[in-house]
Amino acid sequence: MSETKELTYAEVSEHTSKKDLYLVVHDKVYNCSSFVDEHPGGEEVMIDVGGQDASEAFEDVGHSDEAREILNGLLIGNLKREAGDPSPSSSAPNSTPGKPQSASSAAGLGIGVYALVLVGAALAFVAYQYLGSSNGQKSS
């Protein structure tokens, strides 16, 4: 692609069918029409975000480096944002609406599992000591 094409959000939003499917990922426009049938997640997930900013959906899935290379091969231009366009999707971990504490909740889960293991080990030790002492009393 020698010349970078600029498309408006209105132009991108006209391409929502399986045979004519554009997606926006991080303000880059991709023609995914040729890849819809090959998409490992199925065509429905791509059609659902067709003609829209799919940045958040793309990043949430955690696509591989190979997937990103395929995406680069589908690049047709840049998104030209205009007044009234939807704001860009953010890929920052704690700025996703509805998920404001994803990093802290993951850390909380880690601490909870650690605490559970410690409590379980302590209970196992106490049970071992109790059973050992009661066996010792019976044999005397």
- Provide CB contacts within 8 A for 72, sequence distance 6+: none
Q: How confident is residue 117, by pLDDT bands cut at 50, 70 and 90?
A: confident
What CATH number is associated with residue 25? 3.10.120.10
Mean pLDDT of 123-138: 82
Residue-number span of the structural domain to which 58 is assigned: 5-80
Bridge partners, 79 (sequence order): 7
In a domain? residue 57: yes
More confident residue, 86 or 18: 18
Same domain, 11 and 71: yes
pLDDT of res. 89 = 59
Same domain, 70 and 21: yes
Same domain, 66 and 121: no
Tell me the pTM: 0.60
pLDDT in tens, 38-67: 998 888 999 999 999 999 989 888 888 999
